[in-house]
Amino acid sequence: MINNQGEMLTVPLSLEDIKKSYGRMSRFYALPEGIFEKGLRQKGLQLLSVAPGEVVLEVGVGTGYSLKEIANSVGEDGKAHGIDITPQMLGITGKRVKKAGFMDRVELYEGDARRMPYQNGKFDAVYMASTLELFDTPDIPVVLSEIKRILKPKGRLGVASLTKEGREGSLFIRFYGWLHQKVPKYANCRPINVEKLIEDAGYQIAKTEEFILLKIAPWRIVVAKPLTD
């Protein structure tokens, strides 16, 4: 059970476990991502407001609904990159962007967000939805620091994450914490203190909004800018 001191639960899974679990889930994942998360995706991408000509990365593309929207927003002169650890997810994303006619402006990479292959200062924006909260506690600052490295100095990070900020005692948070501990292979995400983690990693919060998914699950959408040293 999630504890009431607000400590973050750990994620007791190896990268191989996560890969296998998302490989299995990829067969039906388009349903929750495409339908249930539609409002969350629209709000997240609206806050990030990707402009034509930008170079944007999505971390943890899943079945590609957001990446397709990002590719549409960057237009012919921009570029949308996507990284994911699970080949099956990338396969579905590839088909989706191809069907939308955006393959010429999309690049997909199979790899780990803790060590990304991109050069320093490459991206105008990086987007992450329902993904930061699945990294284990020591890995979250690693991922955020890696994103800071590849963002332009005036770039922005958009995160949509299950949150427990101000909601530690809520029934949903307690239930999700219990589920995460019972079946981590399926409920591998857990609610986190999104804003604090982002600030601690050296970003300044520019925009923040709560989004209640399906009238029960609290998500927080944050747009943040890297602080310069």
Ligand X SMILES: C[S@@+](CC[C@H](N)C(=O)[O-])C[C@H]1O[C@@H](n2cnc3c(N)ncnc32)[C@H](O)[C@@H]1O
Q: Give least dist CB 34 to ligand X, A.
A: 9
b/e 171-210 (16+ beta carbons within 10 angstroms → b) = ebbbebbeebeeebeebbbbbbbbbebbbebebeeeebee
Q: State the Cα–Cα distance between residues 48 and 67, nearest whole angstrom.
A: 13
155 counts as binding ligand X under rule CB under 6 A: no
Name which of residues 167 to 226 contact ligand X (CB under 6 A).
189
Residue nearest to ligand X (CB): 62
Alpha helices, DSSP H, located in the chain: 15-25, 30-31, 38-48, 65-74, 87-99, 139-150, 171-182, 194-200
Query: x/- site string to ligand X, residues 34 to 73, per CB under 6 A?
Result: ---x----------------------x-x---x-------
Instruction: Work out which of 86, 161, 163, 193 binds ligand X, going by CB under 6 A.
Output: 86
Binding region for ligand X (CB under 6 A) out of 73-81, 130-138, 166-174, 200-208? 130-138
130 counts as binding ligand X under rule CB under 6 A: yes
User: Which residues, at least 6 apart from 187, have a Cβ–Cβ distance to it below 8 Å?
Assistant: 176, 179, 180
Instruction: Work out which of 71, 74, 92, 113 binds ligand X, going by CB under 6 A.
Output: 113
Bin 52: left if φ > 0, else alpha if -120 < ψ < 50, else beta. Answer: beta
144 counts as binding ligand X under rule CB under 6 A: no
82 counts as binding ligand X under rule CB under 6 A: no
33 counts as binding ligand X under rule CB under 6 A: yes
Instruction: Work out which of 20, 43, 112, 213 binds ligand X, going by CB under 6 A.
Output: 112
Angle at 64 between CA 206 and CA 42, to 5 degrees: 40
Task: Please report, as ranges, the residues that interact with ligand X according to CB under 6 A.
Answer: 18, 22, 33, 37, 60, 62, 66, 83-86, 89, 112-114, 129-131, 134, 189
